[in-house]
Amino acid sequence: MAEKDEPMVVDGGNGRTCEWEGRWNHIKKFLERSGPFTHPDFEPSTEALSGFRNIHVVDMDTIDVSNLNRQFLFRPKDVGRPKADVAADFINNRIPGCCVVPYPFERNTLQFHIIVSGLDSVVARRWMNGMLLSLLVYEDGVLNPSSIIPLIDGGTEGFKGNARVILPGMTACIDCTLELYPPQINFPMCTIASMPRLPEHCIEYVRILLWPKETPFGGVALDGDDPEHIQWVYQRSLERATEFGITGVTYRLTQGVVKRIIPAVASTNAVIAAACATEVFKIASSAYIPLNNYMVFNDVDGLYTYTFEAERKEKCSACSQVPLDLHFSPCSKLQEVLDHLTECASLQMKSPAITACPDEIRQLYKLLSVALIEQRTRQNLSKTLKELGLTDRQELAIADVTTPQTMLFRLCFTS
Ligand SMILES: [Zn+2]
């Protein structure tokens, strides 16, 4: 992620500091000769550029001891320090001439040429996606290509991973393929309560039903980071598992279920990181055609990988540039609209705030952190759209944590 106001330094051993004979030989093989996968417009040359040096790393997290098994840049002495600082120090010391700038705090994305993200949630991905879409410049409805900042997104979940290349405004964005991210799996309550078959069912039984009933530790909320709490849940889960002849309840699994942890696997992370770095190289050097545009990787059982082209969704709420229609009867309650926004697979909002616009800016419902407004507008939820004075073709502005931009919707009354 090189700063835009400085040239994207992708030079190939031109006598600057810390060069040595043959340093760039491996990269020259790609840049100084043609091959079956080179970009049709690419002209191999000894002048070709290679090796990006200016990297900015943004991470607001600090190093936890549990990170050390898979995050190779950190050592026991680094526990408690900002991840961005330690990672930057490590790379700068190891790679002569490389300049990694750490940001252990939020950082505007505006200044970067290419963004690589390895985020831990869909909401964070949607936010980044929305941010890059908000930077696009349209002139008379035509996208100005110089306003595009490519996003290379990598993600892993245990032994599965994916890498994708997103050209905001041109190729499928995160929200175009939102249906690919399944909602969190919750076991049916009847299974948990009366027909457990899996060790997870037993742990969920204790977490959801037994803990509030038996109020251990003076009735405090269950804390996944408190070993005594986990021990209590583990013992009770074991008892329930024994009762139903289920095996496999362990302390570790108990903690995993309670904290909803999916174990991170170092090798999967390494493969996905390498795929992302390769895509950055391709885009920065223009020597090869970038991944088009979604690669999945799975080494649960053997090794399996393939790529496909995720398609743009014509009515994507994030990148389609047209206000989406919301079809409701005038007799529908505002609560139903809210439920639709959170439950619809292609929207999956978290805590939407709805405002009627544009003639009269009127807050219909807002949850978020503003408790006062939530209280004042809560009564609107049980009112019908008609009672709220909303009309057919009315525009609704909806804000949510899944995007930095307010989204426009158009209310369409059904009869
Ligand atoms: Zn989209």
Q: What is the CATH number of the domain that holds 248?
A: 1.10.10.520
Domain end, chosen from 259, 276, 308, is at 259
E-strand ranges in 110-197 read 115-117, 138-139, 142-143, 151-157, 160-166
How far is 374 from 378, CA to CA, in rounded Å?
6
Q: Does some domain include residue 269?
A: no
Q: Report how far ligand 1's centroid is from the alpha carbon of 133 (Å).
A: 9
How far is 79 from 63, CA to CA, in rounded Å?
5
Q: Does some domain include residue 278?
A: no
Q: Report how far ligand 1's centroid is from the alpha carbon of 177 (Å).
A: 7
What is the SS3 assignment for 279?
helix
Give the model's pLDDT for residue 344. Answer: 87
Q: Report how far ligand 1's centroid is from the alpha carbon of 408 (Å).
A: 14
Q: Which has more pLDDT, 331 or 97? A: 331
Largest Cα span, the chain: 77
How far is 317 from 327, CA to CA, in rounded Å?
15
Q: Does some domain include residue 234?
A: yes
Q: Report how far ligand 1's centroid is from the alpha carbon of 169 (Å).
A: 8
Q: Report how far ligand 1's centroid is from the alpha carbon of 313 (Å).
A: 6
Same domain, 409 and 328: yes
Q: Does some domain include residue 2?
A: no
Give the model's pLDDT for residue 14. Answer: 43
CA atoms within 13 A on the CB side of 222: 23
How far is 292 from 289, CA to CA, in rounded Å?
8
- Please return the burial class of 273, using the count of CB atoms within 10 Å of its CB with bins 0-12, 13-18 and 19+: middle
Q: Are 158 and 263 in contact (CB under 8 A)?
A: yes
Rounded to two decimals, what is the model's pTM? 0.79
Query: Known catalytic residues?
Result: 190
Domain end, chosen from 212, 240, 259, is at 259
**Which residue segment(s) compose the domain that 395 sits in?**
324-413
* Amino acid in the structure at residue 21: E
Domain end, chosen from 259, 280, 308, is at 259
CATH of the domain at 330: 3.10.290.20
What are 58-111's pLDDT values in tens digits?
Answer: 998 899 888 888 888 999 999 999 999 999 999 999 988 889 999 998 777 667
Query: Is the C-alpha dihedral spanning 128, 129, 134, 135 positive or negative?
Result: positive
- Percent of the chain at pLDDT above 70? 89
DSSP label at residue 341? H
Highest mean pLDDT among 50-64, 225-239, 348-362, 388-402: 225-239
How far is 193 from 235, CA to CA, in rounded Å?
17
Give the model's pLDDT for residue 5. Answer: 54
Q: Please give, one letter per residue, the 3-state secondary structure of 250-277.
A: CHHHHHHHHHCCCCECHHHHHHHHHHHH
Tokens of 373: 């407004």
Q: Does some domain include residue 386?
A: yes
Q: Would you say residue 23 has pLDDT above 60?
A: yes
Nearest partner of 107 among 48, 55, 172, judged by Cα:
55
Q: Does some domain include residue 372?
A: yes
Q: Report how far ligand 1's centroid is from the alpha carbon of 75 (Å).
A: 39
Q: Report how far ligand 1's centroid is from the alpha carbon of 307 (Å).
A: 19
Tokens of 133: 């879409």
Number of domains, the chain: 2
Q: Report how far ligand 1's centroid is from the alpha carbon of 172 (Å).
A: 5
Q: Which residue has the tokens 């500091």?
A: 17
Q: Does some domain include residue 45?
A: no
Q: Report how far ligand 1's centroid is from the alpha carbon of 273 (Å).
A: 24
Q: How confident is the model at residue 2 (pLDDT cuts 50, 70, 90)?
A: very low
Q: Does some domain include residue 407?
A: yes
Q: Report how far ligand 1's centroid is from the alpha carbon of 293 (Å).
A: 14
Give the model's pLDDT for residue 15. Answer: 44
DSSP label at residue 112? B
